[in-house]
Amino acid sequence: MNKPANIGLDAIDLKILRVLQTDARTPNIVLAEKVGLSPSPCSRRVKLLEQADVLESYRAVISRFAVGLSVTVFAGITVERHSDDNADAFVNAVLAMPEVVACHLVSGEHDFLLEVVIPDMATYEATVLRALLALPAVRDIRTSFAMRTYKSNGALPLDIAKLP
């Protein structure tokens, strides 16, 4: 049922993925040794994994605090049920906001769950919340602040857009 494209990934491929997930800059020589291969076939496998889109990209994980984006907010959004077009418009608007680092269509209490990363709460209210409320499809927003993060899913397309 829910185990589709496992095909083509053998044990060595999974080892490679595990290593690169932890450190994407692992030199190919080290990677080869860790997975029990010599450098050449290891490099080939990585290339193939990239072409097959199993390895989608490589990202640097940046300290949110260091760049002044220390506030994370989750917003549960309820939209009007009458029109799919409205929902599409909502999604498109959200995709255009760099402060919104994640957007999921979810079951349960809300329709969408958004993760927003911003410098402070005032910015959230002034920028994101206001923009979201202006969208006609949005019926309700429940905001919940992350007071502390014990574990985070790491690399994020942060909004580093404050240049002199």
Partner DNA sequence: AGTGAAAACCGTAGCGT
Partner DNA sequence: ACGCTACGGTTTTCACT
Where along the sequence are the contacts to DNA (CB under 7 A)? 12, 27-29, 37-41, 43-47
Q: How many CB atoms lie within 10 A of CB 57?
A: 8
Binding mask 82-121 for its own copies (x = CB under 8 A): ---------x--xx----xxxxxxxxxxx--x-x---xxx
Which lies closer to its own copies via its Cβ, residue 60 or residue 134? 60
Query: In terms of CB distance, is 39 or 76 closer to DNA?
Result: 39
Residues in 22-41 that interact with its own copies by CB under 8 A: 22-25
CB 42 within 8 A of CB 107: no
- The identity of residue 130, as a single letter, is R
Residues 46-85 that bind its own copies (CB under 8 A): 52-63, 65-68, 70-72, 74
Q: Report the partner that residue 83 touches, choosing among DNA, its own copies, none (CB closer than 5 to 8 A by kind).
A: none
63 binds, among DNA, its own copies, none (CB under 5 to 8 A by kind): its own copies
In the complex with DNA, the residue whose CB is nearer, 13 or 99, is: 13
Q: Which tokens is 47 given?
A: 């290339």
12 close to 18: Cβ distance less than 8 angstroms: no
97 in Cβ contact with 134 (< 8 Å): no
Residue 120: DSSP 8-state: S
CB 46 within 8 A of CB 28: yes
